[in-house]
Amino acid sequence: MKKRRPQRMPRGSWLLLPVLFLTVCNWLLWSQHTVSISPDGLFRLTVWTKWGFPDSSVRVALSEKKWPERTILSDPATDRWPALTEVYWDMQSRRVGVLICDSLASNILFAYDLDQRRVISSEVVIAGIRQSLVSRYHLIGSRIKAYDNDPIACVCDNQSGNFRRFENIIGNSLVLPSIGNQR
């Protein structure tokens, strides 16, 4: 009986190991930036960031109670530095609007229709986002006048101190509470 020698991997196949390693690391580098739950409790919106060198990328995903998460916005740009994030849900949980203030690049502002499962014009939710910002950060009087009464310009200004308030509001949980449930 002839003794069998173990099979060797074909030459050059060791080159696939770094590719496999980088693919796994790429998947593991995503971390949650902010989480928001719809008013009816059926949807969960997660803003993910992938920290690269030197900056990061942003991805927004939506999951329903019994369905896996799906990406609804992917911004592969690596010149991102996401800071304050606001999520606005309409009362029927049919539309969601997201504002992500960015210190390096332009801010991200978009809206998504949950019934039609597609991105829609941000104009549909802009008034709701502005009202949420005013309520959450108490943007009244001189606090907002310096920004021509534009809450988005106010909260996205790095010098306004609103990012620190945002970090205090979400704390370690990363879940953005509804306006009436702030700590």
Please report the DSSP string for 138-183 in residue order. T--THHHHTTTT-HHHHHH-GGGSHHHHHHHHHTTT-B---GGG--
Q: How confident is the model at residue 181 (pLDDT cuts 50, 70, 90)?
A: very low
> CB-hemisphere CA count at 13 Å for 135?
15
Q: How confident is the model at residue 119, as a pLDDT?
A: 96
List the domain boundaries for the chain.
30-171
Q: How confident is the model at residue 10 (pLDDT cuts 50, 70, 90)?
A: low
Return the higher-pLDDT residue of 79 and 71. Answer: 71
Reply yes or no on whether the pLDDT at 92 is more than 60: yes
Of the segments 22-31, 71-80, 119-128, 151-160, which one has the largest average pLDDT value? 119-128
Name the pTM for this structure.
0.78
**Whether the bond into 6 is cis, omega within 30 of 0:** no
Kindly state the average pLDDT of the residues 97-118. 92
Long-range contacts of 134-141 (CB under 8 A, 24+ apart): 135/179, 136/86, 136/169, 136/179, 136/182, 137/162, 137/165
- Measured between alpha carbons, how far is 38 from 119 in angstroms, rounded to an integer? 17
CA-wise closest residue to 157 among 181, 176, 137: 137
How much helix, strand and coil, in percent to the nearest 5, is found in the chain?
30, 35, 35
Q: How confident is the model at residue 31 (pLDDT cuts 50, 70, 90)?
A: confident
Q: How confident is the model at residue 15, as a pLDDT?
A: 60
Q: Are strands 95-102 and 108-113 parallel, antiparallel or unpaired?
A: antiparallel
Return the higher-pLDDT residue of 182 and 139. Answer: 139
Reply yes or no on whether the pLDDT at 79 is more than 50: yes
Kindly state the average pLDDT of the residues 53-75. 85
Q: How confident is the model at residue 12 (pLDDT cuts 50, 70, 90)?
A: low
Reply yes or no on whether the pLDDT at 23 is more than 60: no
